[in-house]
Amino acid sequence: MQNVIQLVVFDWAGTTVDHGCFAPVAAFMQSFKQHGVHVTSEEARVPMGLHKKDHIRTMLQMPGITARWKSQHGKDWTEADVQSIFEAFMPMQLEVLGQHSDLIPGLIETLAQLRSSNLKIAGTTGYFREAADSVAKAAAQQGYIPDINNCPEDVSAGRPAPWMIYRSMEKLGVYPPMNVIKVGDTIPDIEEGRNAGCWSVGVLRTSSEVGASLAEWEAMSPSLQDTKISRAKKVLTDAGAHFVIDSVNEVPKLITEINLRLSRGERP
Ligand SMILES: [Mg+2]
């Protein structure tokens, strides 16, 4: 097999659907509130990309939240609290998903370009099974159906472990990892791609790091847009992204560049 990109692994929220990655934020805030602790939307976004239960644990480990939990409950949080918040979180997450499942504008045309180059498409996510299925169903109704879609429950651990990518590669018969690109909007996405040994690519405008809906984005001044993009670019580049791009719609152009690099002997 010629040494070219054969598989694109896409994240879901903030990458292919849900511009700005909003669906999980309100559900995290509400499920913490139900446990007596206020968290801000900024705090709720910090661990974005991890499996949602790991996300809750990581939030509890953040010093400000650890302190507020202790002052509210009179003791430190425990693993039982992680489970309890996760159980409150799941139905809240499922309830709001329907409002945040619109495809990123241009995705369908981008996918058509990728398909015409015989590329395979996979999805990986931090969503638990029912949420992942719900998002995939809503995306399918809009015309986006990846060849395979894995969630953390399909493998032994979610991001930053590379297992969801490896499962996709195995099922689709694609190797080595340098012939795969992973595209996502958060630090755990970038780490997942790096840990898999593939090309790891960050999207900026639609990301949780920018955190703006399409309407909010369009209403922003160009200078505020620049500030937010620069910040997101730094975060994802510092996490190890090989490339950062405006949105998924730049993936076909990027693949041309990566194929050129591969032909010159460059490796991720
Ligand atoms: Mg995402």
pLDDT 10s digits, 86-120: 999 999 999 999 899 999 999 999 999 999 999 99
| Distance between Cα 259 and ligand 1 center (Å) | 25
Query: What separation in Å is there between the alpha carbon of 126 and the centre of ligand 1?
Result: 8
How is residue 123 written in tokens? 């999805």
Overall average pLDDT of the 233-255 stretch: 98
Q: Taking residues 194-223, what's their average pLDDT?
A: 97
Predicted confidence at residue 222, as pLDDT, reads: 98
Residue 265: CB atoms within 10 Å: 7
Catalytically annotated residues? 11, 52
d(CA 60, ligand 1 centre) in Å: 20
Put the strands of the sheet holding 243-245 in their side by side order.
148-150, 120-124, 7-11, 180-184, 199-203, 243-245
First-last CA distance in the chain: 18
**Predicted confidence band at 3 (pLDDT cuts at 50, 70, 90)?**
confident
The DSSP line for 176-223 is: -GGGEEEEESSHHHHHHHHHHTSEEEEE-TTSTTT---HHHHHHS-HH
- Whether pLDDT at 1 is above 60: no
Overall average pLDDT of the 67-73 stretch: 98
In the chain, the percentage of residues whose pLDDT exceeds 70 is 99
180 strand-pairing partners: 7
Distance 175 CA to ligand 1 centre (A): 24
Q: How many whole angstroms separate alpha carbon 177 and alpha carbon 115?
A: 19
Kindly tell me the burial class for residue 117, based on how many C-beta atoms sit within 10 Å of its own C-beta (0-12, 13-18, 19 or more): middle
Predicted pLDDT at 254: 98
User: Rounded to the nearest 5°, which phi and psi values hold at 200?
Assistant: -110, 120
**HSE-up (13 A, CA, CB side) for residue 83:** 3
